[in-house]
Amino acid sequence: MISAISGSVAQSFRPPAISLAARGTESVQPKGSDSGKSSRLGALTEEQKKQVEQLKKTDREVRAHEQAHKNAGGQFTGSASFGYTVGPDGRRYAVSGEVPIDVAPVEGDPAATVSKMTIVASAALAPAKPSGQDRKVAALATSIRTEAQAELAAKSRDKLSGKDESDSKSSALSAQAAYTTGSSPEKGSQIAGSLLDLFS
């Protein structure tokens, strides 16, 4: 899962079913030799062994999911944090996770905002199975990107309309220069019109 951060406010979204949440990857099992681990695994029932295998699978999937966010989001993501549960073997397994991502627009730079939000949306949808929260963050980034694109389009239109004004000013100056020198654009068009009539 990816959590959106806008400015200095973090919006954290954790699944409500998770009761144990901690940071770190160390095992709950006391330090010691591996013989304690093998004897503990040997003491597990078949059902507990299946549960441990399922927890291992979930742990791998959760870590891969969060790593996909990190890889795609690059500089706009923070460190992954995980929620853990303790298995029947005494080890902790990641069962939920989140990666914070910056969804704040780049102040005063809509082009940079478009680029950033493209990366953010891509990062939110990077895992094989994006969560509902991942999709919300992607939608938010897409919305911000659309606003920035509209701002760029408006600036482009303003620039073009400003260019049109300068063109009309240069036409006025050209007409004034022609009047001053004694030539007239009307005479030129009359001559051109006469030539056209000759060829028809």
For 111-152, the pLDDT digits (tens) are 999 999 999 999 999 999 999 999 999 999 999 999 999 999
133, part of any domain: yes
Q: How far is the C-alpha of 116 from the C-alpha of 135, rounded, in Å?
A: 17
pLDDT of residue 1: 72
pTM comes to 0.62
pLDDT over 90 (residue 193): no
187, part of any domain: no
171, part of any domain: no
Task: Calculate the alpha carbon distances from 122 to 8, 20, 62, 74, 81 in Å.
Answer: 22, 30, 18, 11, 20
175, part of any domain: no
Q: Which residue has the higher pLDDT, 12 or 142?
A: 142
pLDDT of residue 144: 97
**Residue 69, C-beta contacts closer than 8 angstroms, at least 6 positions apart:** 2, 77, 80, 99, 101, 123, 124, 126, 127, 134
pLDDT of residue 196: 41
Range with the poorest average pLDDT among 23-27, 89-93, 109-113, 168-172: 23-27
Q: Which residue has the higher pLDDT, 192 or 37?
A: 37
| Number of domains into which the chain is organized | 1
Q: Which residue has the higher pLDDT, 160 or 185?
A: 160
DSSP character string of 145-179: HHHHHHHHHHHHHHHHHHHHHHHHHHHHHHHHHHH
- Mind listing the pLDDT tens digit for each residue in 67-77? 999 999 999 99
Range of the domain at 105: 2-152
12, part of any domain: yes
